[in-house]
Amino acid sequence: MSGALDGVRVIDLTRNVAGPYASLLLASQGADVIKPEPPDGDPSRRFGPFPNDAYHPERSGLFLHLNRYKRSVVMDPASSAGAEYIRALAAEAHIVLEDYAPGAAAAWGWGWESLQAANPALVLTSITPFGQTGPYRGYRGSELTLQAIGGPLYTNGHQDREPLKLAGHYAHYHAGLTAALATLMALRRSEASGEGDWIDVALHECQAGCRDRQSTNLTIAAYTGLSVGRLGAAVFRMGAGVRPCHDGYVNVMGGWNRLPRLLRLIGREDLIDHPQLMNPPGTVPDDLTEAVESAYAVWLGPRNKRDIVAEAQSSGLMAGPVNTIADVMQDPHFQVRGVWDHIDHPEAGSLRYPGRSFLLSRSPRREPQRAPLLNEHAEAIQALLSSSPGRRAKAASNTPLGLPLEGVRVAEITVVWAGPHVTQLLAEWGADVVRVEPANKLNPIREAWRGSRPVNKG
């Protein structure tokens, strides 16, 4: 059996996080990803973290993670020789990914028109902070500014404090995933029609368009004027949210309609029949809130997080430990499912990497491969260019093109967030999605926040 993307060639002209993550997703499913790097290499080679905190351009943890499976060759994208080299690579490829400033590739001689002339069926995906058009197109963007202008920053943190940035490269990874999905949609249509496409991915739009409930809340606030609480304040309510315990922190969802279960668990059944216990969040009397929270803290204090989780789940409460990085790496469930890959690298040594995040029942997972050394595959790629006449794509059709997933029917049997988000994306790309719901039980999201917020109107 072959990988899902075996035979697909990708030219990855991106740097840092978003683009390399997009091409990593494609490479992990079998695509041949060629990574032309500038003479001093992808900037992420200098970002780290580095094993033992010792700087080395071949030992950056970020680069090693994001560039597995790929082949490296050095060229200067701003030179005439580099442009000629890129056009030659594009003639052999199905996909080109790039993340230079709008207009830069065209000025250097390998913009959309030049690449399409070399390969009419090519899919070009351009990833920039603010897109190829609009008043912000020339602006640079960092993780902090992208989260701020896209919306997520405003929704995180406690209500009476400053907004908080989500940790790490959240905006970039999200945009990389979006770019990979959009690229596959365009590739599907290209393979059917013989016509390529140019995809414009703006990192800040990926944030503003996220289906997370906090973005929905912001939309509600814009149209109704209702105050929208930040995520920190919304999660930390009576009996729910992250709390300290003996060996760290734990999250038990024991608030509101689950409070009776929590009170039985912590031995305070006497509070269950209090007439104001089930008031909407924010309207419970302070003395009752203090009684619940004090009893809860006393119960949590001497217990380990995994024992708390086991007891809470046995009581019908959703619960999970707040894992440290060490906890995540040692988690027995991850180990049984083979989440981690052990890969040897000639410069970085043997390291453990995040592996696949999903399994395909009929397509084998690609054998883990290390990230390339700088310019490691120059000879092999030159041999490829010297021996191949170029990609022979299907002749372009004169039939007007529809959406990539037109004609695809999806039966959706999902609830709450993740599944409906997937099918919404499929529907936006043209699929006919038929949603199946049980007749005797509402989807929980249909009755969320009844009476307090109009999140289900329309």
pLDDT in tens, 403-413: 999 999 999 99
Residue 271 has pLDDT above 60, yes or no: yes
pLDDT at 232: 55
pLDDT at 208: 77
Residue 402 has pLDDT above 90, yes or no: no
CA dihedral 57, 63, 65, 68 (to 10 degrees): -90
Span 249-267, mean pLDDT? 91
Residue 94 has pLDDT above 70, yes or no: yes
pLDDT at 364: 79
Span 74-78, mean pLDDT? 97
CB 396 within 8 A of CB 193: yes
Residue 455 has pLDDT above 50, yes or no: no
pLDDT at 138: 95
CA distance 342 to 353: 6
Span 73-94, mean pLDDT? 97
Residue 32: other Cβ atoms inside 10 A: 20
pTM: 0.90
Q: How far is CA 50 from the centre of its chain?
A: 24
pLDDT higher at 390 or 368: 368
Give the pLDDT band (50/70/90) at residue 257: confident
Yes or no: domain 9-211+332-387 corresponds to CATH 3.10.20.600: no
State percent of the chain over pLDDT 70.
88
Span 338-355, mean pLDDT? 95
The domain spans of the chain are: 9-211+332-387, 236-324, 409-447
Residue 316 has pLDDT above 90, yes or no: yes
What pLDDT digit, counting tens, does each position of 136-170 carry?
999 999 999 999 888 788 778 877 888 889 889 99
pLDDT at 456: 36
What distances in angstroms separate CA 155 from CA 29, 143, 298, one per listed residue? 35, 16, 31
Q: Which of 189-193, 207-211, 373-377 shows the lowest per-residue confidence on average (mean pLDDT)?
A: 207-211
Residue 255 has pLDDT above 50, yes or no: yes
- Count CA atoms closer than 13 A to 294's CA, side-chain side: 7
DSSP track, 187-231: HHHHHHHS--EEEEEEHHHHHHT---HHHHHHHHHHHH------H
What distances in angstroms separate CA 185 from CA 189, 190, 428, one per listed residue? 7, 9, 11
Q: Which of 30-44, 113-127, 209-223 shows the lowest per-residue confidence on average (mean pLDDT)?
A: 209-223
Q: Which of 43-57, 222-236, 332-346 shows the lowest per-residue confidence on average (mean pLDDT)?
A: 222-236
CB 10 within 8 A of CB 31: yes
Question: Which of 18, 32, 104, 15 has its CA nearest to residue 380?
Answer: 32
- Which residues on adjacent β-strands are paired with residue 244? 249
Q: With 0-12 CB in 10 A as exposed, 13-18 as middle and 19+ as buried, what is 407?
A: exposed
**Residue 282 falls in which region: left (phi positive, over 0), alpha (psi -120 to 50) or beta:** left
pLDDT at 457: 35
For the chain, the average pLDDT equals: 89
CA distance 183 to 189: 10
Residue 123 has pLDDT above 80, yes or no: yes
CATH class held by domain 236-324: alpha beta
